[in-house]
A and B are shown apart, each in its own frame.
Chain A
Amino acid sequence: MARVFNWQIGRTMNYWYSEKRPKRQFGAVFDINKCIECQTCTLACKTTWTTGRGQEYMLWNNVETKPYGSYPLAWDVQMLNKLGPQIWEGERYTGRTIFEAVPPGMRVLGTDRQDIDYTYPNVGEDEILGAVERGGALGLPQQMWMFYLARICNHCTYPACLASCPRSSIYKRPEDGIVVIDQSRCRGYQECVKACPYGKVYFNPATGTSEKCIACYPKIEQGIQPQCFVNCIGKIRLQGWINPPERAREDNPVDYLVHVRKMALPLYPQFGLEPNVYYVPPIHVPESFTIQMFGPGAPAAVKAYRNARNDKTLAGLFALFGSTERTIPYFKIVGDYAVALDDAKREMMRVPIYEPVYVRPAQDRLYQVMRGNTT
């Protein structure tokens, strides 16, 4: 095992290979507060990549309801349970990662997946935590909550799938950090299926190999965001590039939200994979849950998000989400507009930071009628 630095847990850790970061790293921010679980992303992915024989059950992109939803079944609670106590001391994680809690003879701490784990793709949909009949609805604030968690492969800096493959059939593309399985080399051992704690690698019984999200790299190569991003009707997603914290740039939208403002957080950073999809945590969920899921920065992220509308840079940046199908490497604020810039810093898209609000009086004085907002 090599020793590598994982900035998300604030320390070095064990990993199967030595640290080697790609030239640039695919990164994304998902604003959980905007997701309505329409599954348009899921279908966009499904119709693009996984409508073949043997791929029926694959959801490279899925949206599940938290706290009770999960696909594959209980992917998160199984690993949380296996990992044991997950202690943070400030921003430093002192518990064990899946590479440190590895049982003898294995490469990573994995999860055995069975057919039944894929039998209920939307289990727990819309179910809230709490029980109304116990009087929970009477108290304030109400502890009745749920939220939608949209998930794709995290294209981790330290992928467990990659570490687990005894044939080295999985690699991180040096040009963009996207993690892919070499389909000509894989022999279907399913080690990666067990190893990914996020459950994002699937075995294809028809071909006998494992498959996973490829971040729509043919689109990325053309400077276009993946299918699940551009089809998101809630405009919750933004794809760009993430730098390590010491090289963070204020004009990089992903860096800005992740490193500068610390509003977008990794999913289960304590697993140790340094995942590169970052989430703006839900604002209405108890801190104990968001800290467990997104790390100790969750309360501050929620606080900053609540004030985002009054912050011109933040409001502008969030307005750029879903504004263009092009990847947004850079951005800037110009007057009342947020501007998306390409790699050469040329303007790609310009959106108003604040949409105008029109308030129409209910009474039309001219015609002496009352008008409602309906019909």
Chain B
Amino acid sequence: MTRRIAFIFLALVALGGCTSRPAQDTEQVAAKFTTAPLPFDDPASSLWNQAAEHPAALLKQDIAEPMLTKAGVELVKVRALYNAEWVVFRLEWSDSTQDLIPRAGRSSDAAAIQFPLLGDADVPDAAMGEKGKGVRIWYWKALWQDDAARAQSGGGDRVARLYPNAAIDHYPYEANPSARAEMEKRYAPARAAGNPITVLPGEGPVQVLVAEGFGNTRVAQTQAARGRGQWASGKWMAIIARPMRGGAELGDLAAGKRSYVAFAIWDGAEAHTGSRKMRSNWIPLVLRAR
């Protein structure tokens, strides 16, 4: 009888371990192949449990000024799934506040996944790459997701959301819509100049960037990205997806072939922007064969 109880207890412990403690892979991000529809928009999908979780340690960006002097998020948990067309990552990290719209002294929560353009033998510097050895970055920003959500729900623009009690007498270009494009040169110069951060990137809140070191990041001509973040109870879960085949500009991934990824997290409440971020080193990425 005692033996039977002990066996049942051990079995329960083992079972509990299987269901509540995800399999961890501390060596690499091991993407799991799936034939099921990829959960592009669902961070809570049970499909994620099929992939091993990689706990990626984040460090202060302390290579290029301006640096981060006070540590932010120090751990991001990563899982990845893929099929023939897409690799989908889910990043999970603690953040006690949801910061969406930047204003003076505050920025937007954000996350990014970086890939080397070239393969295994010639991996560039993990800190934004280097000249002649570029990196490609899939950059998710909570602001852009919030912009889209407000546009859909009629929730007002950024200013209305930030300052709901503000009273404005008159905007000249609203009084004269036909002159709006001309007036935007003065009253919304970034938009008039076609700045890529003023328009919603691609199909979702993820922008694909190209960099060869600090200070020269630019928007990739090819925008192939999907993603969605979800904040609840002091935790962000953000999905960022990139295509398996990105062509000459974005690079390709292949099942069974080893590559690398690096991660970065920005905390809007701490005014993290640009190089003021928490970042990881290169972490091996393995797309497990079917």
Q: Among the listed stretches A107-115, A120-128, A144-152, A329-337, which one makes contact with chain B, having 4 or more residues with CB under 8 Å of it?
A: A107-115
Chain B residues closer than 8 Å to A107, beta-carbon distance: 65-66
Judged by a CB distance under 8 angstroms, whether A191 is at the interface is: yes
Asked if B65 and A186 sit within 8 Å, CB to CB, the answer is no
A182 to B193, CA, bound (A): 9
Asked if B102 and A205 sit within 8 Å, CB to CB, the answer is yes
Asked if B187 and A185 sit within 8 Å, CB to CB, the answer is no
Chain B residues closer than 8 Å to A182, beta-carbon distance: 193
Which of B67, B105, B171 is the one whose CB lies under 8 Å from A115?
A: B105
A129 to B104, CA, bound (A): 30
Asked if B186 and A49 sit within 8 Å, CB to CB, the answer is yes
Judged by a CB distance under 8 angstroms, whether B101 is at the interface is: yes
A208 to B158, CA, bound (A): 10
Asked if B66 and A164 sit within 8 Å, CB to CB, the answer is yes
Judged by a CB distance under 8 angstroms, whether A5 is at the interface is: no
- How far, in Å, is A181 (CB) from chain B's closest CB? 9
Chain A residues closer than 8 Å to B66, beta-carbon distance: 105-107, 164, 166, 191
Judged by a CB distance under 8 angstroms, whether B83 is at the interface is: no
Chain B residues closer than 8 Å to A203, beta-carbon distance: 102-104
Interface of A is mostly: loop
Asked if B105 and A112 sit within 8 Å, CB to CB, the answer is yes
Chain A residues closer than 8 Å to B172, beta-carbon distance: 51
Chain B residues closer than 8 Å to A42, beta-carbon distance: none
Which of A51, A106, A190 is the one whose CB lies under 8 Å from B187?
A: A51
Which of A51, A56, A103, A113 is the one whose CB lies under 8 Å from B159?
A: A56
Contact residues on A (Cβ < 8 Å of other chain), bracket: 35 or more
Q: In the complex, which of the residues B173, B191, B273 has the most CB atoms of chain A within 10 Å of its own CB atom?
A: B191
Judged by a CB distance under 8 angstroms, whether B202 is at the interface is: no
Asked if A187 and B102 sit within 8 Å, CB to CB, the answer is no
Which of A105, A118, A205, A207 is the one whose CB lies under 8 Å from B189?
A: A207
Which of B103, B184, B186, B215 is the one whose CB lies under 8 Å from A167?
A: B215
Which of A49, A190, A191, A208 is the one whose CB lies under 8 Å from B104?
A: A190
Which of A48, A106, A191, A206 is the one whose CB lies under 8 Å from B188?
A: A206
Judged by a CB distance under 8 angstroms, whether A287 is at the interface is: no
- How far, in Å, is A94 (CB) from chain B's closest CB? 26
Chain A residues closer than 8 Å to B274, beta-carbon distance: 166-167, 187, 189, 191
Asked if B104 and A204 sit within 8 Å, CB to CB, the answer is no
- How far, in Å, is A302 (CB) from chain B's closest CB? 36
Asked if B101 and A190 sit within 8 Å, CB to CB, the answer is no
Asked if A106 and B190 sit within 8 Å, CB to CB, the answer is no
Asked if B198 and A207 sit within 8 Å, CB to CB, the answer is yes
Asked if B173 and A205 sit within 8 Å, CB to CB, the answer is no
Kindly identify, within residues 101 to 127 of chain B, every residue whose CB is under 8 Å from any CB belonging to chain A: 101-105, 107
Asked if B187 and A50 sit within 8 Å, CB to CB, the answer is yes
- How far, in Å, is A190 (CB) from chain B's closest CB? 6
Judged by a CB distance under 8 angstroms, whether B217 is at the interface is: yes
Which of A54, A183, A190 is the one whose CB lies under 8 Å from B107?
A: A190
Judged by a CB distance under 8 angstroms, whether B143 is at the interface is: yes
Asked if A207 and B188 sit within 8 Å, CB to CB, the answer is yes
- How far, in Å, is A354 (CB) from chain B's closest CB? 41
Chain B residues closer than 8 Å to A193, beta-carbon distance: 104
Chain B residues closer than 8 Å to A112, beta-carbon distance: 105, 271
Chain B residues closer than 8 Å to A297, beta-carbon distance: none
A-B contact pairs, 29 of them (CB 8 A): A49-B186, A51-B187, A52-B173, A52-B184, A53-B157, A53-B171, A54-B158, A54-B188, A56-B168, A104-B69, A107-B65, A113-B105, A115-B104, A115-B105, A117-B104, A166-B64, A166-B274, A167-B274, A168-B215, A183-B189, A184-B190, A186-B195, A188-B197, A190-B273, A191-B274, A193-B104, A203-B102, A206-B157, A207-B189
Binding site for B on A (CB under 8 A): 48-56, 103-107, 112-115, 117-118, 164, 166-168, 182-191, 193, 203-209, 211
Binding site for A on B (CB under 8 A): 62, 64-69, 101-105, 107, 143, 157-159, 162, 166, 168, 170-173, 183-184, 186-195, 197-198, 214-217, 271, 273-276
The 10 closest A-B pairs by CB, nearest first: A52-B187, A105-B67, A184-B193, A209-B190, A207-B190, A189-B274, A114-B105, A183-B193, A183-B189, A189-B273
